[in-house]
Structure 1
Amino acid sequence: MSATTRLAVLGAALALVATSGSAALAQKKYDTGATDTEIKIGNIMPYSGPASAYGIIGRTEAAYFKKINDAGGINGRKINFISYDDAYSPPKAVEQARKLVESDEVLLIFNSLGTPSNSAIQKYMNSKKVPQLFVATGATKWNDPKDFPWTMGWQPNYQSETQIYAKYILKNMPNAKIAVLYQNDDYGKDYLKGLKDGLGQKAASMIVAEESFETSQPTIDSNIVKLKASNADVFIDIATPKFAAQAIKKVAEIGWKPTHFLNNVSASVGSVIKPAGFENAQDIISAAYLKDASDKQWDNDPGMKEFYAFMAKDFPEGDKLDGGTVVGFGVAQTLVQVLKQCGDNLTRENIMKQAASLQDFRTEVLLPGIKINTAANDFAPISQLQLMKFKGEKWELFGEVISADVGG
């Protein structure tokens, strides 16, 4: 073999090694639930039971992921969205989480709903090292990357929200007598803690009545009657949609006229205010981080135009006035962003890494000025809110966007 031939063979061999090296560098990485063609995502929703009004969130997400799939998927992969009902029952949630992880072999569980349900599966998800991502509950404990590195929230946390109400009350109604209705579980107690922390030393004197209720109760009418008897002039309403609608109706029925604060999770015009009666909801105060589809001010907003188009084309059976559809749309967009950032590295570890690397990301259904930011030590994506008051048939925003100051 001549010197020239030897050099040519050597050159070809080196080129082959180089090509193999770059192929190795570009190699795709997958964990269970991801392939060249599919990303398997699990979800748990209360499609039945006392919190069934929230089932619309899961149905919206399913429609949004179908829209993404119809457009070619994410980096060429289709989303296989598997959503189960837990009827807002923690034992059922555990059963469904095990089924999703061990039988369906999903890559992650996304936006599972409810503080009690997510509390019940949190240790399991973290022991299995499977992402419990963008949970649909504002409990403060989801922002704990040190102890629970596989669990992350999405919406503003409950303590932040009631601290904002407390600040408003201290400034505008310093002599208020406050009555509190709260759901007797982690969700209700988290809101109550935020209120008391926000009122500080004045909490003991300002809160004149507290009534807790169980989700198994058919009605909270008797609780409302007891709270009215305290002669409170401020009513803090910490309830999920079914009970929030009951509270609004009963307060009006018995002629009680306190300043009524309603937690954000039940501020939906479609599933709470309308059933309770617009006339009964006048001047209720709440807080928002998402645009309200019933508000005409957003009719020409580019982000909401995209939402309206999605509802008309991809989810026509859904109610655009139900706040749950806006939530489902916004959180699904956030997950799509995370999956895009993952590229071809669809490992569970990289999912959490990318979810903790969101910088000033906006789904355009967020209110102006509100952005999503996360970091390795900050698992609270949205930490800003704006107060709003119900007038006529819609919420009217007032004041500035307020940044929450509650950590994990």
Structure 2
Amino acid sequence: MPAMHLRLAALPAALGLLAVSATGALAQKKYDPGASDTEIKIGNIMPYSGPASAYGVIGKTEEAYFKKINAEGGINGRKITFISYDDAYSPPKTVEQARKLVESDEVLLVFNPLGTPPNSAIHKYMNSKKVPQLFVATGATKWNDPKDFPWTIGWQPSYQSETQIYAKYLLKEKPDAKIAVLYQNDDYGKDYLKGLKDGLGTKAASMIVAEDSFETSEPTIDNHIVKLKASGANVFIDIATPKFAAQAIKKIAEIEWKPLHFLNNVSASVGSVMKPAGFENGQGIISAAYLKDVSDPQWENDPGMKAFLAFLQKDFPDGNKLDGNVVVGYGVAQTLVKVLQMCGDNLTRENVMKQAANLKDFRTEVLLPGIKINTSPTDFAPISQLQLMRFKGEKWELFGDIISADVGG
């Protein structure tokens, strides 16, 4: 019986093949390593352990989203195989994992690897191998360099555009501000700092009264906070990843320093930063957003938010809906699915980059209204708009208009 069954199954397949080749469609299928008639192999690198492990949930969210897509029939009939490795936010480890993905797993592309130092470590390698380093999970400005690095593209708003927006706000609302800056001593921290100085322009020298940097290997940043308070600053710019951002919020409350506190968007998660730091300690903090926040009641009847919550309930029950990183993972996964759909049957690495550089007014369900994803062969910065928000009670409240920051690569 099984043999008979196989022959019957093969017959329509053979007829289908004839029909396809007759239209010439068969000749148009193009594949690079990692792609076939049945599969699209995608690599990913996340800090599931180490100082930035709060971001690991982004990879878990993506995995759950691709499982959902596969259950619905995949992309143009192909299933996604998602291979995700831990690099502990350690650049040498990132290099090792990227080589493994490209050379032994033979993935079609490396998607959303996280962190500025880790991505910097594989930047040249990915481009020399001509493998897409797609929608990297870092807002460093240097990912928008299609001329020199045509295989690397960002996703989130650039760090420089974000701090330029804070600078615009300060120049208008608090022109006599005395600013203290705490920043992580790496490309990520320095990129944010540059944006702030560019945004303040000629006023930067007089307005910034103190700058202090920290290493991710430090167990605590308490002493840096005490030092910055002593500068007499009345504005605090907090450029830190979640673990250290939560420490800063707690310490500022403990030593009764009351500056106007700006917190970088990458640490604005209610679940992984504001709650652990204590809601009472976070009142009045300003940040910027480009994604919807589940705790904001204005999205209660929003169809996009409903779709996101349905995904969590059915496909990712472990996901904390209050963790902004879960929202990020969902939004960036939707963007990749869109690009792969646009690729059709031409699943070459070159075509993946071509489609990623041709997104026009694309919206994932979790972007704030009015914010759209646009790319072109000369613009590899998909999202360049943000809206300011202030922490009140147990949630962020958006205020003001959507602000665009045009920062060159």
Q: TM-score range by the shorter chain?
A: over 0.9
Name the amino acid aligned to 2:169.
Y
Cα distance in 2 between the residues matched to 1:288 and 1:211: 25
Q: How does 1:236-247 map to 2 (within 5 A)?
A: 236-247=237-248
- For 2:388, the equivalent position in structure 1 comes to 387
* TM-fit CA distance, 1:21: 7.4
Query: Residues 207-261 of structure 1: CA distance to partner in whole angstroms, max 9, x if unpaired?
Result: 0000100000000000000000001000000000000000000000000000000
Query: Residues 336-380 of structure 1: CA distance to partner in whole angstroms, max 9, x if unpaired?
Result: 000000000000000000000100000010000000000000000
* TM-fit CA distance, 1:26: 4.5
* Residue 129 (str. 1) matches residue 130 (str. 2): yes
* TM-fit CA distance, 1:27: 2.6
Query: Residues 273-298 of structure 1: CA distance to partner in whole angstroms, max 9, x if unpaired?
Result: 00000000000000000000111211
Cα distance in 2 between the residues matched to 1:368 and 1:19: 42
Where does structure 2 lack aligned partners over 5 or more consecutive residues? Answer: 1-18
Q: Does the CA contact (< 8 Å) of 2:21 and 2:27 recur in 1? A: no
* Residue 142 (str. 1) matches residue 143 (str. 2): yes
Cα distance in 2 between the residues matched to 1:293 and 1:185: 31
Q: How does 1:71-220 map to 2 (within 5 A)?
A: 71-220=72-221
Q: How does 1:319-334 map to 2 (within 5 A)?
A: 319-334=320-335
Q: How does 1:9-408 map to 2 (within 5 A)?
A: 22-23=23-24, 26-408=27-409
Secondary structure at the aligned position of 2:196 is classed as helix
Secondary structure at the aligned position of 2:380 is classed as coil
Cα distance in 1 between the residues matched to 2:56 and 2:246: 17
Secondary structure at the aligned position of 1:136 is classed as coil
Cα distance in 2 between the residues matched to 1:115 and 1:163: 19
TM-score relative to the length of structure 2: 0.94
**Aligned in 2, Cα 1:19/1:352: closer, same or farther, shift over 3 Å?**
closer
* Residue correspondences, number: 392
Query: Residues 277-323 of structure 1: CA distance to partner in whole angstroms, max 9, x if unpaired?
Result: 00000000000000001112111100000000000110001101000
Secondary structure at the aligned position of 1:179 is classed as strand
* TM-fit CA distance, 1:20: 6.1
* TM-fit CA distance, 1:19: 8.8
* TM-fit CA distance, 1:192: 0.2
Query: Residues 138-163 of structure 1: CA distance to partner in whole angstroms, max 9, x if unpaired?
Result: 00000000000000000000000000
Name the amino acid aligned to 2:405.
A
Cα distance in 2 between the residues matched to 1:87 and 1:291: 28
Name the amino acid aligned to 1:304.
M
Name the amino acid aligned to 1:386.
Q
Query: Residues 25-59 of structure 1: CA distance to partner in whole angstroms, max 9, x if unpaired?
Result: 74310000000000000000000000000001000
Secondary structure at the aligned position of 1:170 is classed as helix
Cα distance in 2 between the residues matched to 1:26 and 1:52: 45
Query: Residues 90-109 of structure 1: CA distance to partner in whole angstroms, max 9, x if unpaired?
Result: 00000000000001000000
Name the amino acid aligned to 2:190.
K
Identity of aligned residues (%): 85
Cα distance in 2 between the residues matched to 1:344 and 1:388: 42
Cα distance in 2 between the residues matched to 1:50 and 1:395: 25
* TM-fit CA distance, 1:405: 1.2
Name the amino acid aligned to 1:369.
G
Secondary structure at the aligned position of 1:374 is classed as coil
* TM-fit CA distance, 1:24: 6.2
* TM-fit CA distance, 1:23: 2.0
Name the amino acid aligned to 1:200.
G
Cα distance in 2 between the residues matched to 1:43 and 1:19: 34
Name the amino acid aligned to 1:170.
L
Where does structure 1 lack aligned partners over 5 or more consecutive residues? Answer: 1-17
- For 2:10, the equivalent position in structure 1 comes to none
Cα distance in 1 between the residues matched to 2:96 and 2:20: 47
CA RMSD of aligned residues (A): 1.3
Q: Which is greater in Rg?
A: 1
Secondary structure at the aligned position of 1:283 is classed as coil
TM-score relative to the length of structure 1: 0.95
Name the amino acid aligned to 2:100.
K
Name the amino acid aligned to 1:302.
P
